[in-house]
Chains A and B, each alone.
Chain A
């Protein structure tokens, strides 16, 4: 399967797009098709796919709409990384190929597959609804349309970057938690929740936060930063996730949920010993009953394999703890002072 895609510039070469294929009507399992076409410098992956669809194989299926990086339709994995096909230059991908000259194109992960490069977006929309990701206005019904809210530059700046999100779901695809459990809220939804929660025009901050701290919510994130690294709009998604967590501890207290308790236990250990006391961490996070019920079988296995963490008295403070505690205190005060000035 070959062809040529030209822009009338100087550089061109044969490049293979190895495309993930799956048609649920006929295929029992997915496979890859190789399409080798001549591509010039300056051509995007989407234009190459369009070319293949028009000139080589009309059955290759993918979503695309604006072709300008704003509608978010053409999210797919290109050489293993989730991104938009319309803003990705073929030439830039050449250095990222596992096999020289072969660009691998696959559907986004963590969402149900429909066909070829098309995945089902409904679960993401359902989560947006579940976490009430909309503004419930503070403006009384009778005043709507008559008055505008006054919003300071500083308030605006808090949600400005988050409103860049085009819901392309690249972050959802890259999320390591979602791979393990699909009920997890997901980074895009957390970002949207954060954007709503810092908006002074909104009236349901507490309701949303109450939902976010439950199971599969904000505390499940493991800070792998994959979402932020791959965000096509360069949004600091982890700042939003941390923002929700800080807000949760501040508003709801540190003993509110297992997530908050886990964070607190971490802090306590680090301050006391400079390292974690892992043996008691589950108990301090989730309580004795939960730990016995959920972790006993694993604990037994760990004992059999001699992999149990040392009991608390054997966890000696790390070297240089005195200096460390000073630094720790200084840091804590600095953060507190900064939070105060933010509030003003």
Chain B
């Protein structure tokens, strides 16, 4: 096969923006986008609330500077300040660009792009399209990619990087429709595969496929992962399914209420109340529940998200999806009754370690979006900054790859490597020695992570979690793929995704054990205070010959000094 200049893995917001920008940067390049789902199915579609940008349409005194400060403070000072500056100063441009190419933003009375308040932000700067913002952005980007003739390999599952003598030669992937393993020799590979928070399974708002495929592939190729211990728990997941109720619901004025009928946020964030940052609101709900002030039900303990006082008109026009989901999955109409909610694993701050332009330590390998850790979110991401992240850094990674692709020599991937990969996939189907059921292992993975590496963490529990994980990895060696067909073998996909989650779970738990402090989403009950002296730094997890090693990397500081973070 003729080598590609760029192979982009992932067809969500970051991958599609990278593709668009790469084509724009150099139309002569041979670019492919691989995605395990049709791009319009990607998890970007589930982002409801919006994307932050200091357009100053709603609050005339909003500035990029204020956005930068809110983001750094929100990150509990773990974000790299130069990266945050890029994120926030590019924001207005990129939101306008999306408007220019068709994103149906909601509008203010003066016909400009609408903005709403969001958690942890000092001004209403979250641009939205009702509660379908991510969906409409993804549609817009997919439409534009079809227009530009981007070459898609839909329903391809990425398996591994082909690396020889620490030189990246391309990607190996499986065509899901045929089951064939195929080579994608490439000068550059951009990972944009989304997050890994689905490893918490039933206590996760994520799509079934948010299994950290890109991170796991990069990790196994020796590329370090950064800040993996930081997993954001979104305060308001539906009680039964973990599915998400957007922060927009609180942005529009929703209340959080405990079983005593009290708006308990007044005790935790008296000023911002329900619009405190996500880590704080999640901990507050969890504390209410742990201290017995939550509601109880067979499907778990919970608190109420009350929208009833907002009225039918507002709920129907601004939060229609939320109403639909509450009715489908909880049997509750938020116009009439409060919604039962509890925190749910939602977002992975950690990811593939990149510089501000998407480059990883391996030449020719780039990453962007939730899959990467630049880091702009540090220890806690602000609502409305993740869509922004995938847009800004998806575009930057696409541009950088396009500019640098021709610097790297094209190479080929050997038939032998393809055959070996094919054989390793078939081995899961061998009856002898393979008896573990995928579903059982996955369930236990979610449970041990939720219990031992969840919102509240402490050394002894995390150690239990790490032991569980290594036992699970051992059992995984005996996992069996019961479906032996080549065509669309979703059973095989599930097993491969589980392997990715198991590999990454070790980095999450080990990072959590090492970091003896509480910062952002990472809360250690045995080390309840932020420890800047010892821990104002990123953690790096690298897979070496004899297993995982933890390292560190300094935080880029700028004009904002370390401060206590209060709301």
Pick out which of these stretches binds chain B: A153-161, A217-225, A241-249, A256-264. A153-161
> How many residues on chain B are close to A (CB under 8 Å)?
69
Report Cα–Cα, A132/B139, bound state, in Å: 14
Q: Does B485 contact A (CB under 8 A)?
A: yes
CB proximity to A under 8 Å, residues B83-115: 93-97, 99-102, 104-107, 109-113
Report Cα–Cα, A131/B102, bound state, in Å: 16
> Can you name the residue of chain B whose Cβ is closest to the Cβ of A129?
B146
Q: With A146-B96, A149-B100 in contact, is A166–B45 under 8 Å at CB? A: yes
Report Cα–Cα, A65/B321, bound state, in Å: 17
Q: Does A266 contact B (CB under 8 A)?
A: no
Report Cα–Cα, A69/B45, bound state, in Å: 10
Q: In the bound complex, do residue A163 and residue B487 qualify as a contact, i.e. CB atoms below 8 Å apart?
A: no
Report Cα–Cα, A146/B136, bound state, in Å: 21
Q: Does B490 contact A (CB under 8 A)?
A: yes
Report Cα–Cα, A114/B486, bound state, in Å: 12
Q: Does A337 contact B (CB under 8 A)?
A: no
Report Cα–Cα, A89/B328, bound state, in Å: 8
Q: In the bound complex, do residue A55 and residue B439 qualify as a contact, i.e. CB atoms below 8 Å apart?
A: yes
Residues of B near A202 (CB, < 8 A) are: 102
Residues of A near B299 (CB, < 8 A) are: 7-9
Q: Does A72 contact B (CB under 8 A)?
A: yes
Residues of B near A160 (CB, < 8 A) are: 104, 130
Q: In the bound complex, do residue B207 and residue A65 qualify as a contact, i.e. CB atoms below 8 Å apart?
A: yes
Residues of B near A135 (CB, < 8 A) are: 101-102, 140, 143-144
Q: Contact check: which of B101, B104, B481 meets A156 at CB < 8 Å?
A: B104
Q: In the bound complex, do residue B325 and residue A68 qualify as a contact, i.e. CB atoms below 8 Å apart?
A: yes
Report Cα–Cα, A163/B107, bound state, in Å: 15
Residues of A near B547 (CB, < 8 A) are: none
Residues of A near B140 (CB, < 8 A) are: 135
CB proximity to B under 8 Å, residues A143-175: 143-153, 156, 159-160, 163-164, 166-167
Report Cα–Cα, A61/B491, bound state, in Å: 8
Q: What's the count of A-B pairs with C-beta under 8 Å?
A: 180
Q: Contact check: which of B110, B298, B437, B487 meets A114 at CB < 8 Å?
A: B487
Report Cα–Cα, A196/B38, bound state, in Å: 21
User: Contact flags (1/0) for B260-299 with A, using CB distance below 8 Å?
Assistant: 0000000000000000000000000000000000000011
Report Cα–Cα, A63/B208, bound state, in Å: 11
Q: Contact check: which of A7, A133, A152 meets B107 at CB < 8 Å?
A: A152
Residues of A near B38 (CB, < 8 A) are: 73, 121, 125
Q: Contact check: which of A73, A114, A125 meets B488 at CB < 8 Å?
A: A114
Q: Does A314 contact B (CB under 8 A)?
A: no
Q: In the bound complex, do residue B41 and residue A134 qualify as a contact, i.e. CB atoms below 8 Å apart?
A: no
Q: In the bound complex, do residue A66 and residue B45 qualify as a contact, i.e. CB atoms below 8 Å apart?
A: yes
Residues of B near A167 (CB, < 8 A) are: 40
Provide the main secondary structure of the chain A interface.
loop
Residues of B near A148 (CB, < 8 A) are: 55, 95-96, 99-100, 112-113
Residues of A near B46 (CB, < 8 A) are: 66, 68, 70-71
> How many residues on chain A are close to B (CB under 8 Å)?
67
Q: In the bound complex, do residue A67 and residue B136 qualify as a contact, i.e. CB atoms below 8 Å apart?
A: no
Q: Does A301 contact B (CB under 8 A)?
A: no
Interface centre among A44, A128, A163 (most CB of B within 10 A): A163
User: Contact flags (1/0) for B111-145 with A, using CB distance below 8 Å?
Assistant: 11100000000000000011010011001100110
Instruction: Output the least CB separation between A191 and chain B (Å).
Output: 12
Residues of A near B207 (CB, < 8 A) are: 65-68, 71
Residues of A near B129 (CB, < 8 A) are: 163
Q: In the bound complex, do residue A134 and residue B143 qualify as a contact, i.e. CB atoms below 8 Å apart?
A: yes
Residues of A near B321 (CB, < 8 A) are: 70
Q: Does A25 contact B (CB under 8 A)?
A: yes
User: Contact flags (1/0) for B138-179 with A, using CB distance below 8 Å?
Assistant: 011001101100000010000000000000000000000100
Residues of A near B93 (CB, < 8 A) are: 145-146
Q: In the bound complex, do residue A199 and residue B107 qualify as a contact, i.e. CB atoms below 8 Å apart?
A: no
Q: With A54-B437, A67-B243 in contact, is A149–B488 under 8 Å at CB? A: no
Residues of B near A64 (CB, < 8 A) are: 208
Instruction: Output the least CB separation between B392 and chain A (Å).
Output: 12
Q: Contact check: which of A26, A129, A145 meets B97 at CB < 8 Å?
A: A145
Report Cα–Cα, A289/B209, bound state, in Å: 57
Q: Does A312 contact B (CB under 8 A)?
A: no
Interface centre among B55, B95, B241, B485 (most CB of A within 10 A): B485
Instruction: Output the least CB separation between A148 and chain B (Å).
Output: 5
Residues of A near B488 (CB, < 8 A) are: 61, 114-116, 118
Q: Contact check: which of A59, A163, A164 meets B483 at CB < 8 Å?
A: A59
> Can you name the residue of chain B whose Cβ is closest to the Cβ of A7?
B299
Instruction: Output the least CB separation between A172 and chain B (Å).
Output: 14
Q: In the bound complex, do residue A137 and residue B102 qualify as a contact, i.e. CB atoms below 8 Å apart?
A: yes
Residues of A near B101 (CB, < 8 A) are: 135, 137, 144
Q: With A66-B45, A134-B147, A148-B96 in contact, is A25–B481 under 8 Å at CB? A: no
Report Cα–Cα, A23/B243, bound state, in Å: 33
Q: Does B438 contact A (CB under 8 A)?
A: yes
Q: In the bound complex, do residue B112 and residue A42 qualify as a contact, i.e. CB atoms below 8 Å apart?
A: no
Q: Does B240 contact A (CB under 8 A)?
A: yes
Q: Does B37 contact A (CB under 8 A)?
A: yes
> Can you name the residue of chain A whose Cβ is closest to the Cβ of B206?
A66
Q: In the bound complex, do residue A58 and residue B96 qualify as a contact, i.e. CB atoms below 8 Å apart?
A: no
Report Cα–Cα, A125/B485, bound state, in Å: 27
Q: Does A87 contact B (CB under 8 A)?
A: yes
Q: In the bound complex, do residue A151 and residue B107 qualify as a contact, i.e. CB atoms below 8 Å apart?
A: yes
Q: Does A139 contact B (CB under 8 A)?
A: yes
Residues of A near B177 (CB, < 8 A) are: 114
Q: With A66-B207, A72-B40 in contact, is A164–B438 under 8 Å at CB? A: no
Q: In the bound complex, do residue B100 and residue A156 qualify as a contact, i.e. CB atoms below 8 Å apart?
A: no
Q: In the bound complex, do residue B328 and residue A87 qualify as a contact, i.e. CB atoms below 8 Å apart?
A: yes
Instruction: Output the least CB separation between A90 and chain B (Å).
Output: 13
Q: In the bound complex, do residue B482 and residue A73 qualify as a contact, i.e. CB atoms below 8 Å apart?
A: no
Q: Does A136 contact B (CB under 8 A)?
A: yes
Report Cα–Cα, A23/B481, bound state, in Å: 17
Q: Does B324 contact A (CB under 8 A)?
A: yes
Residues of A near B96 (CB, < 8 A) are: 144-148
Q: In the bound complex, do residue B106 and residue A156 qualify as a contact, i.e. CB atoms below 8 Å apart?
A: yes
Instruction: Output the least CB separation between A25 and chain B (Å).
Output: 6
Report Cα–Cα, A154/B136, bound state, in Å: 19
Q: In the bound complex, do residue A65 and residue B490 qualify as a contact, i.e. CB atoms below 8 Å apart?
A: no
| 5 pairs of A and B residues whose beta carbons are closest in the complex | A135-B102, A54-B439, A58-B482, A134-B143, A8-B298
Given known contacts A121-B38, A137-B100, what 18 new A-B pairs fall within 8 Å (CB)? A7-B240, A7-B298, A25-B485, A58-B481, A58-B491, A59-B483, A59-B485, A65-B208, A72-B40, A114-B487, A115-B488, A135-B143, A137-B101, A144-B97, A145-B97, A150-B111, A150-B112, A151-B107
Identify 30 residue pairs between A and B in the complex whose beta-carbon atoms are under 8 Å apart, listed by A's number.
A7-B298, A8-B299, A25-B487, A42-B331, A54-B437, A58-B481, A59-B485, A59-B491, A61-B490, A66-B43, A66-B46, A67-B207, A68-B46, A68-B207, A69-B324, A70-B135, A73-B37, A87-B324, A114-B488, A121-B38, A133-B143, A134-B102, A135-B101, A137-B101, A143-B100, A148-B113, A156-B106, A163-B132, A199-B104, A202-B102
